[in-house]
Amino acid sequence: MKSDLHGEIRPARPEDREALSRICLETADAGKDASALYSDCHYPGLLYVLPYAIFAPDFAFVLAMGEQVVGYVVAAPDTVAFENTLEQEWWPELRQRYAHRQPQAALDMKVLSQIRTTGRASAELTGPWPAHLHINLLPLAQHGGWGRRLIEHQLTALRAAGVSGVHLGVSLQNEQVCAFYEKLGFRHIFRRNAIYMGQSL
């Protein structure tokens, strides 16, 4: 566990889940606040953070400053196994819950379509880099090296679990962040619906 006078990286707890969902929403527009782009504030978190906190809790970490959770890094150590778990234990309930939900804001359909027809990660990614991760920080935590510390904390956890490699996706609208990941040892894999980067562990 890493901490200083201003912040602490610790395992995510069940009571953090609302904060995780909020952070996901407020960074879902290529790192900027996407509150105006979704009619339901929980939509992004259903895809990008809550499943990890629930089904891969050993790889879900938050950055807390005082009593406030201001960032997180989550990962699935085995992407294929994680996708199988979600197909059995996560998506069916959401498909039922949102079966008749209609899009009302700009990005609603992005979430609703993924719930209804979930994709699978490419074998090009999951072969060499079986794990994947997501990281998001609120603006007040985007300085001071916290992003680097969160990533390093996650990579340490993945290595300790014997994971051989990890990948991540960067929004095409947020390409400038690739330089940050390159400094942490990630390299470009390919560009499609996102910019994919990987690192052997």
Is pLDDT of 154 > 50? yes
Alpha-carbon span 126 to 131, nearest angstrom: 7
Residue ranges and CATH numbers for the domains of the chain are 2-122+134-162 (3.40.630.30)
Alpha-carbon span 77 to 59, nearest angstrom: 8
**62-90 mean pLDDT:** 97
Q: Where are the beta strands (DSSP E) in 90-186?
A: 131-137, 165-170
pLDDT interval class at 176 (50, 70, 90): very high
* pLDDT tens sequence across 19-74: 999 999 999 998 899 999 999 999 999 999 999 999 999 999 999 998 899 999 99
Alpha-carbon span 76 to 89, nearest angstrom: 15
Q: Could you tell me if 38 and 111 are in contact, meaning their C-beta atoms sit under 8 angstroms apart?
A: yes
pLDDT interval class at 122 (50, 70, 90): very high
* Residue 42 structure tokens: 């929980």
pTM of the full structure: 0.94
